[in-house]
Amino acid sequence: MPIVLFILVAGLWAAFLLPSFFDHRSRAPKATTRDYARTKEKLANIALSQPDSDTYIRRHAQIRRQQILSGMGIASASTLVFATWTNSMPWLWLNIAINVGIASYVTLLLTIKQRRALQRTVVVSISDAPQRPLMAVPDQFAYATDEAKTVRVIAG
């Protein structure tokens, strides 16, 4: 047991100390791209944290929905465990009711998502589209000349 603990502690120290030995690679050109990506990500997070923006509202609504769904999942699992542990039918019926609630909540979320997707689509009626006269496409040989058959190389 002490050997396993020693190996675990040594592994943790190595995980913290070894990256500092290889830090000289962080000065490479790849690091500038990583720095740019990190800076861009920070700016995106700042932009998302503006409470007046639509993305902020959507993001927090999504977080709230995830919390509700995870809470309902935990409630379902705990009532099922308690119902089987105590052999209680009322707890089993409560578990079934919670599962029905989860199914209806997911159905409601999917319906809302589908309606939003339909609202975003723009449909243009064919009768409103501008009419163009139809023309036949000429044969390839009709416009082929000697110049079209040659290959030009342009030195850059």
What is the DSSP annotation of 44-110? HHHHHT-TTSHHHHHHHHHHHHHHHHHHHHHHHHHHHHHHHHHT-HHHHHHHHHHHHHHHHHHHHHH
pLDDT tens sequence across 41-79: 888 777 666 777 777 788 888 899 999 999 999 999 999
**In sequence order, which residues have a C-beta less than 8 Å from that of residue 82 and are 6 or more positions away?**
88, 91
How many Cα atoms occupy the beta-carbon half-sphere of 91 within 13 Å?
A: 14
Q: Which long-range contacts (CB under 8 A, 24 or more apart) does 76-81 make?
A: 76/102
Amino acid letter for position 4: V
Burial of 65 (0-12, 13-18, 19+ CB in 10 A): middle
CA 33 and chain centroid, separation:
22
Task: For residue 98, give the nearest of 90, 88, 87 by alpha carbon.
Answer: 90
pTM for this one?
Answer: 0.47
User: Which residues of the chain have a pLDDT value below 70?
Assistant: 4-6, 8-9, 12-13, 16-31, 47-49, 122-126, 128-130, 134, 136-156
Residue 83 near residue 91, CB atoms below 8 Å: yes
